[in-house]
């Protein structure tokens, strides 16, 4: 199957394309709906009427000027923190001191490729691969998972694969 035969999702405004990505499963892809609210009370009413998953929590990203973004995250995930540093060196010292591990968004391209291969079912050659893939398949294969449930499981195994890769380097 060439790239043009794959299913795609398109997010757009009246005159601009915002996102244009290939998707793996046309029937399984859940189209997102963007909502706008004129007041906080309208937003609160909308949230109260949602069928909110038990294993999710609302996360609000803000700065001193106000709210920037609202999203849902797994309920067992702690709220991220943000700091600023005057140099890359001082930021790297903070990472080292607190033994922070990378997430997929800051990994090298080679690591992202291995993670992608893992989820696409391609054989990977890192220590612990066979155990991880069998655990992942046990949690997902043949199960009716909601998009939110699948994302939680995917995030968990994404981090496990990354940890294994960095532990073997």
Phi, psi of 124 (to 5 degrees): -115, 155
- What's the token pair of residue 166? 């960095």
Q: Mind spelling out the 3-state secondary structure of 17-32?
A: EEEEEECCCCCCCCCC
Number of H helices, E strands in the chain: 5, 4
pLDDT at 2: 55
Q: 113-147, pLDDT tens digit by residue? A: 999 999 999 999 999 999 999 999 999 999 888 87
Helix, strand, coil shares of the chain, percent, nearest 5, are 40, 15, 40
Q: 35-65, pLDDT tens digit by residue? A: 888 998 998 898 888 877 777 888 888 888 8
Q: 72-116, pLDDT tens digit by residue? A: 777 777 778 888 899 989 998 998 898 888 888 888 899 999 999
Taking the whole predicted model, whether its pTM rises above 0.85 is answered as no
pLDDT band per the 50, 70, 90 thresholds, residue 168: low
């Amino acid at each position: 199957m060439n790239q043009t035969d794959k299913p795609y999702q398109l997010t757009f405004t009246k005159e601009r394309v915002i996102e244009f990505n290939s998707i793996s499963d046309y029937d399984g892809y859940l189209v997102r709906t963007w909502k706008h609210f004129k007041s906080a009370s309208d937003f609160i009413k909308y949230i109260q009427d949602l069928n909110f998953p038990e294993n999710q929590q609302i996360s609000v990203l803000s700065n001193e000027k106000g709210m920037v973004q609202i999203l849902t995250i797994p309920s067992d995930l702690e709220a991220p923190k943000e700091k600023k540093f005057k140099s890359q060196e001082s930021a790297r010292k903070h990472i080292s001191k607190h033994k922070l591990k990378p997430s997929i968004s800051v990994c090298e391209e080679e690591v992202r490729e291995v993670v992608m291969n893992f989820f696409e079912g391609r054989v990977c050659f890192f220590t612990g691969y066979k155990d991880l893939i069998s655990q992942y398949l046990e949690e997902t294969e043949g199960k009716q998972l909601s998009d939110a449930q699948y994302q939680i499981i995917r995030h968990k195994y994404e981090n496990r694969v990354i940890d294994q890769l960095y532990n073997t380097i």
